[in-house]
Chain A
């Protein structure tokens, strides 16, 4: 016997809106289709239903019945996330899944071997509960029967005897043409059990092929192929705030919950986070702020990921207040590698990444990192870039070049000091500047450098190393006709 399971997320729009803020579900809340003031109620919480709020009711009428009622518009972004989540979870149960409807999917379990369907279904419900979702699971011998079972599941329902199960279901409850349902009602047939007792051929002869399909459903004999979909492999969470937020705390609260969910899903898929993309939807929805975080050591630890976000958000200033937040994780397969015997590694790369972010916040962008020299002879051209200590490879040549180094290292003045230099027979003899002043007793140069003469950004500089009468050593340079003190080799502290 083949088995199918239908997974239904009851009150789908309400569940999507309340996810990650379950505490709001304790009060009277209704999700409204369309404008919150002119729309109609789609779903409502139990306290709202107890106050007399009904599905389809105009929102004004609903508020008249329940003055404390909160009216929320449909959370489209969160509904997308929950739909993806449903398929993603279903994809872990079987490769053959169908996105049957909003908050509903059917899973082909023909390849699954189990005798205890009740236990299996309860396990599925528990996994959804971990994702803060309420699910109903129906297991039956064909897809349509499974869907019917899921709508009646509390929270699971296994249909072992289709005839007995279907007998009590009203014809109007199944997806049948309304005119056919009306004719059957005129005949006095209200339930599927009564319909199943009629002969199929005569029913088709009188009411057409649609009646034959309905009869097969009534007898539990209808088999159809699933319209298969591939579960998405995106690890994405979205949340929309009711009001623009002004402080970091509510944002961190939601991010923490989102990360908990994402990490749970990553672990289910045996993946770790390699990159995180944080998107803040700003007050005027056209604008948004986006930042990609590369995780130094890919991890599925929510604490570590939250610290990375927290460090960044602490120093973030936005012109508009955020009204929504989206978090996307790019997963990779977790790596387990053995450390090199002679190569030391960072103890905690993720913590190091956070420290770099804090240092950048302290001293500014581009002021932290390892030196990357530019491919030019122009002096003092380099950038500080993010370190990649784990990818370092030692070349034998590097050490040799280091041992051949000449002279004293320079200490640069940034920016260089403007100076006046006296020349005698093209040799500098006296320098006047804010920090170097005096007679030049020895000078080496000129060292002429130039480049990019074929471009507009052509440059040329003439450099001299000088020794003053007091023993101080400096480098001076001439750009066009202006002199500068570029740095010192040896000079007293001032």
Chain B
């Protein structure tokens, strides 16, 4: 068969295929957290890895917000607590009975635990809290780990949030950066007021034509 005839056949094939509708990407399912600052500008999505970059205090506030959302949605979640810093007394009255806690000491164990929970696929939301670990131990997590997790959540549809003190997760489709500074008087204020006062920045990968852009772009 000559190259010319091959080209003609390819054109014929394209013409034949044009009769069929173009494949459409499945609709993205968002996971409403009930936090307007997040849901309106860059909501969490099923089957995506999200990263929360914040200080440990703000991470704990974010967890409080997530626990509220879990109760409203009547769902379950998993929290992998690397460093074993989770204090249930601070969340009295929250949906702790809906939260599976996995307490581990090292980042390595945390990554293994996340792998098990994501492969399991029973929990619609999994949080990997790495905020209490030293920076150097975060740097030791291989970058391909996050890409592997992205493949896993695509299969199970899980919302996977990695809580870090600094950007670490290359594969994150959404990065939420929280900023806030507190004085001792904050310990007497309502938690909902503290959350409302947070400076929230959201970075997302481009979603044009269903294709992810190379870098994260801040959402207005």
* A382 cross-chain contacts in B, Cβ below 8 A: 88-89
Given A362-B112, A407-B188, A487-B85, is A402 in contact with B93 using a C-beta cutoff of 8 Å?
A: yes
| Main SS class of interface, A | mixed
- Interface residues, chain A, CB within 8 Å of chain B? 342-344, 346-349, 351-352, 355, 358-359, 362-363, 367-371, 373, 379-380, 382, 384, 387, 389, 392, 394, 398-414, 442-444, 465-467, 471, 473, 487-494
Indicate if the CB atoms of B181 and A471 lie closer than 8 Å.
Answer: yes
A180 to B: closest C-beta gap in Å: 72
Stretch at the interface among B13-21, B101-109, B142-150, B210-218: B101-109
Interface centre among B97, B132, B166 (most CB of A within 10 A): B97
Instruction: Return the 10 tightest CB-CB contacts between A and B, nearest first.
Output: A401-B93, A490-B57, A409-B90, A409-B60, A407-B187, A493-B165, A411-B85, A355-B120, A467-B184, A352-B122
Complex Cα spacing A410 to B90, Å? 6
* B121 cross-chain contacts in A, Cβ below 8 A: 347-348, 351
Tell yes or no: B5 within 8 A of A by CB.
no
* A344 cross-chain contacts in B, Cβ below 8 A: 73-76, 124
Write the chain B residue with the least CB distance to A399: B71
* B93 cross-chain contacts in A, Cβ below 8 A: 398, 400-402, 404-405
A-B contact pairs, 13 of them (CB 8 A): A342-B74, A370-B96, A371-B88, A389-B98, A399-B71, A402-B68, A402-B93, A406-B188, A408-B57, A444-B184, A473-B182, A491-B56, A491-B57
Indicate if the CB atoms of B189 and A407 lie closer than 8 Å.
Answer: yes
* A494 cross-chain contacts in B, Cβ below 8 A: 134-135
Indicate if the CB atoms of B74 and A363 lie closer than 8 Å.
Answer: no
Complex Cα spacing A367 to B83, Å? 12
B28 to A: closest C-beta gap in Å: 19
A146 to B: closest C-beta gap in Å: 54
Indicate if the CB atoms of A405 and B87 lie closer than 8 Å.
Answer: no
Q: Which residues 114-148 of B have a CB within 8 angstroms of A? A: 116-117, 119-122, 124, 131-132, 134-135
Add 20 more A-B contacts to A355-B117, A404-B93 (CB < 8 A). Answer: A344-B124, A349-B122, A351-B121, A352-B122, A355-B119, A355-B120, A371-B96, A384-B103, A399-B71, A399-B72, A404-B190, A405-B64, A405-B92, A407-B194, A408-B60, A408-B61, A409-B87, A412-B84, A488-B57, A490-B57
Tell yes or no: B38 within 8 A of A by CB.
no
Given A359-B116, A362-B112, A363-B104, is A373 in contact with B89 using a C-beta cutoff of 8 Å?
A: yes
Complex Cα spacing A263 to B92, Å? 44
A346 to B: closest C-beta gap in Å: 5
Complex Cα spacing A57 to B117, Å? 61
Q: Which residues 48-91 of B have a CB within 8 angstroms of A? A: 55-57, 60-61, 63-64, 67-68, 71-76, 84-91
A472 to B: closest C-beta gap in Å: 10
Write the chain A residue with the least CB distance to B156: A347
Indicate if the CB atoms of B102 and A367 lie closer than 8 Å.
Answer: yes
Complex Cα spacing A414 to B85, Å? 7
* A402 cross-chain contacts in B, Cβ below 8 A: 67-68, 71, 93-95
Indicate if the CB atoms of B98 and A406 lie closer than 8 Å.
Answer: no
* B74 cross-chain contacts in A, Cβ below 8 A: 342-344, 394
Indicate if the CB atoms of B94 and A405 lie closer than 8 Å.
Answer: yes
* A493 cross-chain contacts in B, Cβ below 8 A: 55-56, 131, 134-135, 165-166
Complex Cα spacing A346 to B75, Å? 9
Given A389-B76, A412-B85, is A401 in contact with B92 using a C-beta cutoff of 8 Å?
A: yes
Indicate if the CB atoms of B182 and A408 lie closer than 8 Å.
Answer: yes
Indicate if the CB atoms of B56 and A488 lie closer than 8 Å.
Answer: yes
Tell yes or no: B99 within 8 A of A by CB.
yes
* A352 cross-chain contacts in B, Cβ below 8 A: 120, 122
* A370 cross-chain contacts in B, Cβ below 8 A: 96-101
Write the chain B residue with the least CB distance to A381: B89
* A401 cross-chain contacts in B, Cβ below 8 A: 92-93
Indicate if the CB atoms of A403 and B184 lie closer than 8 Å.
Answer: no
Complex Cα spacing A489 to B180, Å? 13
* B85 cross-chain contacts in A, Cβ below 8 A: 411-414, 487
Tell yes or no: B9 within 8 A of A by CB.
no
Given A402-B94, A493-B135, is A368 in contact with B100 using a C-beta cutoff of 8 Å?
A: yes
Complex Cα spacing A413 to B117, Å? 25
B161 to A: closest C-beta gap in Å: 16
Tell yes or no: B192 within 8 A of A by CB.
yes
* B109 cross-chain contacts in A, Cβ below 8 A: 362-363
Complex Cα spacing A467 to B185, Å? 10
Complex Cα spacing A412 to B192, Å? 22
**Pick from A371, A404, A411, A442: contact of B56, CB under 8 Å:** A411
Complex Cα spacing A382 to B97, Å? 12
Q: Which residues 158-184 of B have a CB within 8 angstroms of A? A: 165-166, 181-184
B34 to A: closest C-beta gap in Å: 11
Interface centre among B57, B60, B109, B116 (most CB of A within 10 A): B57
Write the chain B residue with the least CB distance to A393: B97
**Pick from B101, B113, B119: contact of A384, CB under 8 Å:** B101
* A368 cross-chain contacts in B, Cβ below 8 A: 100-103
Indicate if the CB atoms of A363 and B182 lie closer than 8 Å.
Answer: no
B18 to A: closest C-beta gap in Å: 39
Tell yes or no: B151 within 8 A of A by CB.
no
Indicate if the CB atoms of A367 and B103 lie closer than 8 Å.
Answer: yes
Indicate if the CB atoms of B122 and A348 lie closer than 8 Å.
Answer: yes
Tell yes or no: B11 within 8 A of A by CB.
no
A385 to B: closest C-beta gap in Å: 10
Indicate if the CB atoms of B61 and A442 lie closer than 8 Å.
Answer: no
Indicate if the CB atoms of A351 and B120 lie closer than 8 Å.
Answer: yes
